[in-house]
Amino acid sequence: MLLGAPGSGKGTQAARFASDYDVPVIATGDILRKNIKENTPLGQQAQSYIEKGDLVPDDLVIALVDSAFAEADAKGGWLLDGFPRTTAQAEALDVLLEKTGKKLDRVFLINVPKDVLISRITGRLLCPKCGRIYHEKSMPPSEAGVCDLDGAALTRRVDDNAETAESRIAVYNEQTKPLIDYYAAKGLLTEIDGTIGLDKIEDVIRETLS
Ligand code: ADP
């Protein structure tokens, strides 16, 4: 599981992880955005929360993870990105683990100072086609506004503006931070400095899991 504030680099590490390990990444934010794009009932319910930077209600997100766990590709395990985000979600996850006969191998907490989070979030660009994440200053595509991999026009998330970023970080501090103690108490937590560079972060994750 990857734990960390918005902009801490969970999604970037998850993408690297997915290409190496044969397990799906279950990223609740990505699944919710897909539902919004496809205008599903779940997407309609989630949209206003996401746009404001608030959390989507626990029952919706828990149901979503429950069904992701039931997919055939999740039988051999998974990587969780962005779930759980509240104590109620963590407790629901414990029930789902029991139900599916799985256990958490490790919880990685990626620590990044707030000023860095804000600049990462407000400069973030992503490819709507392949999901690759760029940053307009620190990780720009070769051609401005175009994905290096598939040539699609890069987009910005609706919630990646300065104001919403502030409230997402506040929500993280209030509602998600208590999970650090929750998983430390279970002996599952590995803390990583999220400013040491993508390759080094990946190395820590890989070495810890090996
Ligand atoms: P980030 O970590 O950068 O905020 P995510 O893609 O993980 O990006 O989440 C985007 C938004 O989706 C969140 O601000 C929230 O509204 C919603 N969301 C994602 N995961 C959850 C969750 N586990 N519980 C509640 N809301 C969630």
> Active-site residues: which are they?
10, 85, 124, 157, 168
pTM as predicted: 0.93
Q: Is residue 80 predicted with pLDDT exceeding 90? A: yes
With a pLDDT cut of 70, the percent of the chain lying above it is 100
Residue 132: band (very low, low, confident or very high) from pLDDT cuts 50, 70, 90: confident
Taking residues 163-167, report their average pLDDT.
94
Residue nearest to atom 10 of ligand 1 (CA): 29
Q: What pLDDT, on a 0 to 100 scale, did the predictor assign at position 112? A: 97
Beta-carbon contacts of residue 201 (< 8 Å; ≥ 6 apart) = 9, 13, 110, 192, 194
Give the residue, out of 36, 42, 56, with the most ligand 1 atoms within 8 A of its beta carbon, to mutate for a pocket test. Answer: 56
Q: Is residue 184 predicted with pLDDT exceeding 90? A: yes
Q: What pLDDT, on a 0 to 100 scale, did the predictor assign at position 15? A: 86
Q: What pLDDT, on a 0 to 100 scale, did the predictor assign at position 187? A: 98
Residue nearest to atom 15 of ligand 1 (CA): 55
Asked if CATH classification 3.40.50.300 holds for the domain at 2-112+191-209, the reply, yes or no, is yes
Q: What pLDDT, on a 0 to 100 scale, did the predictor assign at position 67? A: 95
Sheet with strand 189-193: strands edge to edge: 25-27, 79-81, 2-4, 107-111, 189-193
Q: What pLDDT, on a 0 to 100 scale, did the predictor assign at position 120? A: 95
